[in-house]
């Protein structure tokens, strides 16, 4: 039965009355508790809710059985308030601590036209960081009305922060002291930083936050945090020790240095070969997604991207749906790390030879040396190539992404291992085994990967140590030419990894030597569990 205009008008009038009543009660509560203006819940504006909230309800209800309630009918769906304890909250019961930490109601989301909402101006791709605007996702009272980003800093590690606060070991209002944390290595602005199409997956100003947004942090009291940190270190790897011992890597005293003598168990100096260590500059980068740019990179609409992110994070971030005015999302995923061998200034110098390896995480091989794949030997080989390139006057770069198991995760990867070993581990079944479990053979989707290269100022790559056609195509498509490609030498491939390599070559991966056809794949077979047991 159609609803008459009179009934709709009556419903809206009742909702208006409920809103006024709720605001009145909140004002009385504030007067009693002495709450400051900045800690009161954000309320919907009275004058412009009807049209927007009605259309939002009908649009969402038509496309999903889960409808987003409009702010008029969900007066508790305002932004949260957070207590401001000066020290950690340790004593008392859980209920008492909860009331101290979160004195307000449980508020699920915000809307663009709520009273007090004033997002910090944001112009993604602006050349000046002040014009671009700081990334603010904090829900603390000083910043909540100025948020221009959905999500939380630290990616997946934000969950550990929540646990630390709940246990009373961390105050939610702890203010970091950024003095003495500035980068010891310069990563200066590049032309690509002001091209909104070149960098969409992290904040290029992330390592400069304490300096370029000093006023906003110190004077305005906004909770703005770095999303990139740059430092220097020495690498120590047993594989590099062995290469130096064989004379395959030169100990030059600048990039490759002789390690200090080791000590014996009794504390005396050992006469054993102590190996080498490698001087590097490195940067840790947390993801910050500019949603319009990410959507464009993948050739989908922003609304579809937002809906998919909302649904497949279990509805963790309702503001992906309710705050279309917020264009930045800090996803709960792992970060990336950049390792630079040689002078970092050479990365943007076209006259210098640049060697690159883009490596996706493989904990089993990279750390524990599993022989079922080539990840560790390939990574080690690339590091040595970067060192040799730097020693010749160029620069080497290794970018390490947290995309375990082709971004399918380690659990899925191990399930695939089980299937392969039980079903006959032949190269012709390599990708099919993954698709049976995961439904797709790869979810790394390298479209966002070149962003970090543009951030570093890389405009051409002389040597790319990679067989991946997905990585090669993504980099070249982004405007960075690759002059030479290098696959892993045959003598570095573990015998049980031949299945992986042959399957990849047959699928179109780059190979400078051996060519593999689909008919050849059945001949390449890995070890069974029984053969590997001793």
Q: What is the DSSP string of 38-83?
A: GGSPPEE-SSSHHHHHHHHHHHHHHH-SSPPPPGGG-TT-S-----
> What is the phi-psi region of residue 222: left when phi exceeds 0, alpha when psi lies from -120 to 50, beta otherwise?
beta
Contact between 365 and 375 under an 8 Å Cβ cutoff? The reply is yes
The pair phi, psi for residue 6, each rounded to 5°, is -65, -45
Count of C-beta atoms within a 10 Å radius of residue 303:
15
Here the tokens at position 120 are 């910090």
Kindly report the number of other CB atoms within 10 A of residue 105's CB atom: 14
Q: Which neighbouring-strand residues pair with 233? A: 280
Kindly name the residue from 444, 451, 485, 502 that is annotated as catalytic.
444
Classify residue 72 as exposed, middle or buried by CB count within 10 Å of its CB (0-12, 13-18, 19+).
buried
Tokens of 405: 């198991």
Virtual torsion, Cα 412, 413, 417, 418, nearest 10 deg: -20
Cβ atoms of 311 and 296 within 8 Å: the answer is no
- In terms of Cβ atoms closer than 10 Å to its own Cβ (0-12, 13-18, 19+), residue 40 is buried
The token pair at 283 is 């940067």
444 is catalytic: yes
Please work out, in degrees rounded to the nearest 5, the angle formed at the alpha carbon of residue 136 by the alpha carbons of 75 and 400: 125
Q: Is 220 a catalytic residue?
A: no
Question: Looking at beta carbons, which pairs linking 344-347 to residues 24 or more positions away fall under 8 Å?
Answer: 344/185, 344/186, 344/187, 344/281, 344/395, 345/186, 346/394, 346/395, 347/395, 347/397, 347/456, 347/457, 347/458
**DSSP assignment of 336-387:** EEEEEES-GGGGG-TTS-EEEEEEE--HHHHTT--TTSSHHHHHHHHHHHHH
Q: Cα separation of 130 and 265, whole Å?
A: 56
Q: Quick check: 276 and 256 in contact, CB under 8 A? A: yes
- Under 8 Å between Cβ of 508 and 471: no
**Please, what is the angle between helix 410-423 and helix 430-438, to 10°?**
130
Choice among 49, 360, 442, 496 that is catalytic: 442
Token pair belonging to 91? 């004593």
Catalytic residues: 442, 444
């Amino acid at each position: 039965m159609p609803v008459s205009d009179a009934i709709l008008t009556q419903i809206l009038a009742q909702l208006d009355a409920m809103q006024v009543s709720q605001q009145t009660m909140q004002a009385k509560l504030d007067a009693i508790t002495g709450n400051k203006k900045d800690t009161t819940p954000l309320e919907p504006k009275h004058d412009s809710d009807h049209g927007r909230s009605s259309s939002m309800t009908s649009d969402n209800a038509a496309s999903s059985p889960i409808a987003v309630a409009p702010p008029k009918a969900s007066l508790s769906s305002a932004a949260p308030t957070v207590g401001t304890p000066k020290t950690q909250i340790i004593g008392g019961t859980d209920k008492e601590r909860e009331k101290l930490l979160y004195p307000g109601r449980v508020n699920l989301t915000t809307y663009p036209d709520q009273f007090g909402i004033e997002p910090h101006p944001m112009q993604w791709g602006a050349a000046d960081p002040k014009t671009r605007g700081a990334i603010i996702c904090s829900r603390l009272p000083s910043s909540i009305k100025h948020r221009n980003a959905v999500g939380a800093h630290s990616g997946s590690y934000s969950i550990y922060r929540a646990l630390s606060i709940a246990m009373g070991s961390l105050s939610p209002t702890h203010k970091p002291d950024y003095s003495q944390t500035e980068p010891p290595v310069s990563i200066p602005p590049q032309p690509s930083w002001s091209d909104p199409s070149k960098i969409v997956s992290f904040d290029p100003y992330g390592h400069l936050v304490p300096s370029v947004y000093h006023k906003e942090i110190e004077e305005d009291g906004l909770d703005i945090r770095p999303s990139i940190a740059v430092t220097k270190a020495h690498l120590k790897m047993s594989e590099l020790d062995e290469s130096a011992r064989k004379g395959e890597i030169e100990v030059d005293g600048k990039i490759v240095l002789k390690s200090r003598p080791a000590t014996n168990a009794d504390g005396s100096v050992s006469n054993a070969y102590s190996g080498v260590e490698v001087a590097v500059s490195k940067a840790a980068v947390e993801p910050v997604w500019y949603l319009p740019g990410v959507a464009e990179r993948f050739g989908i609409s922003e609304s579809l991207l937002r809906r998919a992110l909302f649904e497949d994070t279990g509805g963790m971030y309702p503001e992906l749906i309710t705050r279309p005015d917020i264009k930045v999302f800090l996803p709960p995923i792992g970060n990336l790390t950049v390792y630079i061998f040689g002078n970092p200034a050479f990365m943007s110098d076209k006259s210098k030879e640049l060697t690159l390896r883009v490596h996706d995480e493989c904990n089993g091989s990279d750390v524990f040396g599993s022989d079922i794949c080539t990840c560790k030997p390939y990574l080690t080989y690339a590091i040595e190539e970067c060192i040799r390139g730097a020693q010749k006057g160029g620069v080497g770069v290794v970018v390490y992404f947290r995309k375990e198991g082709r971004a399918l995760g380690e659990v899925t990867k191990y399930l695939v291992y089980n299937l392969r070993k039980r079903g006959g581990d032949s190269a012709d079944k390599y990708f099919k085994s993954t698709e049976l479990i995961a439904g797709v053979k790869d979810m790394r989707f390298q479209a966002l990967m070149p962003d970090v290269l543009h951030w570093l100022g890389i405009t051409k790559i002389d040597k790319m140590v990679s067989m991946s056609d997905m990585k090669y195509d993504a980099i070249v498509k982004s405007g960075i030419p690759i002059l030479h490609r290098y696959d892993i030498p045959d003598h570095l491939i573990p015998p049980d990894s031949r299945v992986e390599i042959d399957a990849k070559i047959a699928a179109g991966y780059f190979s400078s030597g051996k060519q593999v056809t689909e008919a050849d794949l059945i001949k390449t077979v890995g070890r069974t569990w029984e053969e590997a047991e001793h």
